[in-house]
Each structure stands twice: as C-alpha cells, then as structure tokens.
C-alpha cells in the first residue's frame, strides 16, 4: 500500500540502490520472496507437528517469473503469488503524521494506520457479502528519519473482524530481503552493518543486514499469525523467536550483533517454530485445507455444560480440537488438552475440575481457571471461571425432584435494554410433553425463540422482536428428543 503521492521507493543504502534499485518492481520481488519463505517455513513446521506439509496458499497470476534468476534471464512466464498495488486516498505525509500521532498517543484512533489500510483493501477488492478476505499489507512509505531517530509510517498489527482479516507491516527492512531463491542464503548470511544514517536498526536487533531480514520477514509473519487468529504464545513466532528465522534456511549462522555471538552450526533444536497451539489452529483453518481433506463440518459451534460430580461436558458437532487452560494471572497458554481429528473423536468430552488443576503449576492450583475451547471446524467458546461454572449456582432443582444445569451464557448483553432470560423446558419436567415447533423472532439478529409443544403451550426465550410473525422451524420427533434432553 502506498500513499496517493508516493514515489514508490523504500529505504535502503545508496550502494544497494546502485546494485538492485529501490523501486516498486524490486519491492514486489522482495515481498513475494518473503511470502514464499513464510509459506515454506509453515509447511515444514506443520509437517513436524504431524499435520502433513500443509500451509496457506496465495492468490496467483500468470506473469514473468521472478522467483529465480533463470526465469528472469529467459523471460519465462509462470504462475506466481500476486502482489496487489493499492494506492491509499491519503498522502505520504498524512500516513506518516497519522503514525506519529499514534506513537505519541495523541490520535483518537489508536489503530489509525490499520483502519486506513483496512478501508483501502476493502475498496480495492470489493468483497462480496459472506466472502472472507485474508490480506497482509506491506506499508511501502515507512521511512527512517535519521535526524530525529524516528521510524514513521510503520505499524505492526494483525487481526480483523467479521469477514475481513488483515495484517500490516512497514518496509523499513525490505532492503535486506532476498528477491529470488538464489539470494536466500546470501541474504541470511550478509553481515553488512546497518548504517543508521539511512536505515532503521529495529530496537537494536537489526545491526546487520541478515538480522534486519529476520526482523522484517519474521515480525511480518508474526502479524500474519494474528491475521489467522493466533494470540501471543509462550514461545515461537508468536513470541519473538523470529529473530532466528534465518536458521530454517541456512546451515551455519553468521556473527550476530544482537547476541554478540560468533555464530555456528544451525541445528533443528535451535530454529524458531510455530507453537503447537498455532499449528492446531491452522489445522482447523479453511486457508490450510488440502484437496485430500474430507469436507469440513458445517457446524463449528461448541457448547459446554456443568454436570454432576463437578465435571464439565463439552459438546461440538465437529469434535473438540483442543482446550487451552489458563491459570490465574496467565497472559499466554502454558498447558492444554487436545484430541485428534479422527472418526469423530471428541464430539462429546467430559472434563473434571481436578484434572484441569493437576495440569497447572502447584502454586496456581487454588486460583481461578479459564478455558478456551476450540472445535475442529474452527469454532471457539470460553469458560471464564471453571469453579463458578460448575458450582451449585449452576444447578437448578426441578419440580419432580430432578436437577438441571445451566449451560453457557448466550450473547454479550451489550445492547441497551438487554435482559437476562432462563428457560427450563417444560418437556424436561413432563416427559409426556413433546417439543413440536420453534419460532425464531429476528431482524438483523435473533431477538427471541419461542418453543411450542404438542399440547399448544409454549415458552418464550428472549423477546418477540424483529419479524412480527417470526420464522418457524419444524422439528421432527428424533430432533425433538435431542432438544429436550437434560444433563
């Protein structure tokens, strides 16, 4: 992405301008090669996690090959990853001023550059309703101001909402990237010192060219991880292990100005990685599917219910993939449970509180435990406090002497006038009564559900908002039995 008046150049040393240039064509070649390194690194990591050599794919175009020197020399055409050139409606000065305001915390919108990029991408691709876009953006106009020692026009962010998934990163390290396969090893072993008269030394971690390549390519991949829904982790790319990203592509490491280490042999154990939890997320993500994968389950939902003897019953039609366990005070996940995606394993899982507490350190076992539950179809659900979730407050005594348990709360109650509703199905108390019809009242969202029984009586969950008559869902007897079952 460039400002509307951008000359289309990136920061580099004068000697490099003479050698390879710093224009848009060079930027495209380097950015494409960085993307291929992300792709190959991820495929190798997924293989090591026993998920096969799967990775994300790129939109491609038929163009003059740039990924190797032979194609360039012979003008050979290939299908290669497409780099879209997007001009923002803001000038370079406006983009940099916006970024500077963010850094000084004086902007109204703390994610200003991210929102500008989001809008520019949305206008460029004009996605159809329901179409998910996964886009990572290189901010071409990032610039190191040597006089003020400030990096302007750069932001490292990733995420998104709804159907738009975006990450952004500046071009201040682009000069150090390889632009073809033949340049990968030289780029990751180039010890040329970073001249801060022209180039940024990112937090003093990019003191040489190869270290700048690590920071640029690796930190941008970190934001791509956020784009795919990965949070920060205890290790790996989603921490800051990308400072050794080079080790997956070379046999021996050069001298490091960051660690003051003379380098040496690059062993597998010394490489950075995608954390196991990242790999589990990727395994369920639509962007990582392979042609041999069975069709993904249409229902990604997850429900959790407190049950007898202090257990939690987790139900997911596609199967429970993994459960992250957070002890009190944990910012990242240190322990988890996982289930394989084979033969419908994990569709109904019972978990005991004692087993969860046994998984966390002794010093934290008496504190609050939070769960983040993921399904094989990519769904997610949260249990904020396990002890409270399974406490006596979750149990309701029924008229006939039996017990019912409160399920997970639906909705966020964030709208004005929101009210809490609880329903115990009449059919759970009177076994002779059968649920026959569900009426859904909705506008842009669900306002209420009305459950009607075979004797004409009904129960309302929520309100009769939206469409006056609602939409009716007829349930067969076999489905009704599932709806009224209790735990």
Residues designated catalytic: 223
Query: Which residues, 6+ apart, have CB-to-CB distance to 337 below 8 Å?
Result: 322, 323, 325, 351, 359
Residues 107/97, Cβ–Cβ less than 8 Å: no
In angstroms, the CA 457 to CA 477 distance is 17
CB atoms within 10 A of CB 468: 7
DSSP H/E element including 105: none
328: left (phi over 0), alpha (psi -120 to 50) or beta: beta
Q: Read off φ and ψ for residue 439, nearest 5 degrees.
A: -110, 125
Q: Which residue is listed with tokens 């006089």?
A: 147
Which of 264, 142, 112 shows the shortest CA–CA distance to 215? Answer: 142
Give the SS3 label for residue 42: helix
Cα–Cα distances in angstroms (integers) from residue 189 to residues 34, 66, 203, 388, in the given order: 16, 21, 20, 54
Residue 457 · residue 426 · CB < 8 Å: yes
Q: Which two tokens stand for residue 146?
A: 């040597």
Tokens of 5: 């008046």
457 is written with which tokens? Answer: 């009586």
Q: Provide the CB-side half-sphere exposure for 278 (13 A, CA).
A: 28
Query: In this structure, are residues 227 and 164 in contact, taking their beta carbons and an 8 Å threshold?
Result: no
DSSP structure class, residue 100: H
Task: Write the CA distances from 317 to 300, 314, 406, 413, 475, integer angstroms.
Answer: 7, 10, 20, 26, 18
Output Rg (C-alpha) for the chain, integer angstroms.
27
């Amino acid at each position: 992405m460039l400002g509307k008046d951008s000359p289309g150049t990136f920061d580099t040393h004068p000697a490099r301008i003479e050698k390879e240039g710093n224009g848009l064509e060079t930027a495209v070649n380097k950015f494409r090669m960085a993307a291929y390194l992300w792709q190959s690194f991820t495929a190798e990591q997924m293989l090591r996690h026993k998920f096969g050599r799967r990775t994300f794919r790129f939109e491609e175009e038929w163009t003059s090959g740039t990924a190797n020197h032979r194609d360039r020399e012979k003008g050979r055409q290939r299908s290669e990853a497409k780099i879209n050139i997007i001009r923002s409606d803001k000038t370079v000065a406006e983009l940099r001023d916006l970024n500077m305001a963010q850094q000084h915390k004086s902007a109204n919108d703390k994610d200003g550059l991210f929102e500008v990029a989001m809008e520019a991408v949305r206008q460029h691709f004009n996605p159809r309703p329901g179409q998910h876009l996964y886009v990572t953006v290189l901010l071409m106009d990032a610039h190191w101001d040597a006089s003020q020692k400030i990096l302007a026009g750069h932001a490292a962010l990733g995420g998104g909402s709804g159907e738009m998934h975006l990450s952004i990163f500046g071009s201040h390290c682009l000069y150090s990237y390889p632009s073809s396969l033949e340049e990968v090893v030289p780029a990751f072993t180039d010890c040329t010192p970073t001249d801060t008269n022209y180039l940024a030394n990112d937090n003093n971690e990019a003191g040489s060219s190869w270290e700048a390549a690590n920071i640029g390519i690796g930190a941008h991949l970190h934001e791509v991880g956020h784009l795919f829904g990965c949070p920060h982790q205890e290790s790996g790319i989603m921490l800051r292990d990308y400072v050794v990203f080079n080790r997956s592509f070379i046999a021996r490491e050069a001298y490091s100005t960051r660690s003051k280490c003379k380098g040496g042999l690059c062993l597998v154990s010394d490489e950075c990685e995608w954390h196991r939890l990242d790999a589990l997320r990727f395994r369920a993500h639509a962007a990582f599917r392979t042609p041999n994968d069975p069709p993904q389950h249409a229902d990604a939902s997850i429900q959790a219910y407190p049950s007898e003897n202090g257990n939690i019953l987790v139900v997911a039609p596609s199967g429970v993939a993994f459960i992250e366990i957070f002890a009190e005070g944990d910012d990242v996940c240190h322990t988890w449970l996982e289930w394989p995606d084979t033969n419908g394993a994990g569709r109904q899982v019972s978990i005991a509180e004692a087993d969860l507490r046994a998984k966390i350190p002794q010093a934290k076992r008496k504190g609050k435990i939070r769960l983040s539950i993921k399904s094989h179809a990519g769904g997610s659900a949260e249990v904020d406090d396990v002890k409270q979730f399974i406490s006596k407050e979750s149990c309701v005594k029924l008229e006939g002497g039996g017990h019912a348990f409160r399920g997970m709360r639906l909705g966020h109650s964030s709208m004005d006038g929101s009210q809490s509703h609880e329903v115990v199905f009449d059919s759970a108390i009177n076994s002779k009564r059968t649920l026959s019809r569900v009426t859904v009242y909705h506008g842009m969202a669900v306002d209420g559900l009305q459950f009607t029984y075979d004797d004409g009586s009904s129960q309302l969950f929520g309100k009769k908002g939206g469409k006056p008559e609602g939409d009716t869902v007829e349930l067969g007897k076999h489905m009704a039995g599932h709806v009224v079952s209790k735990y």
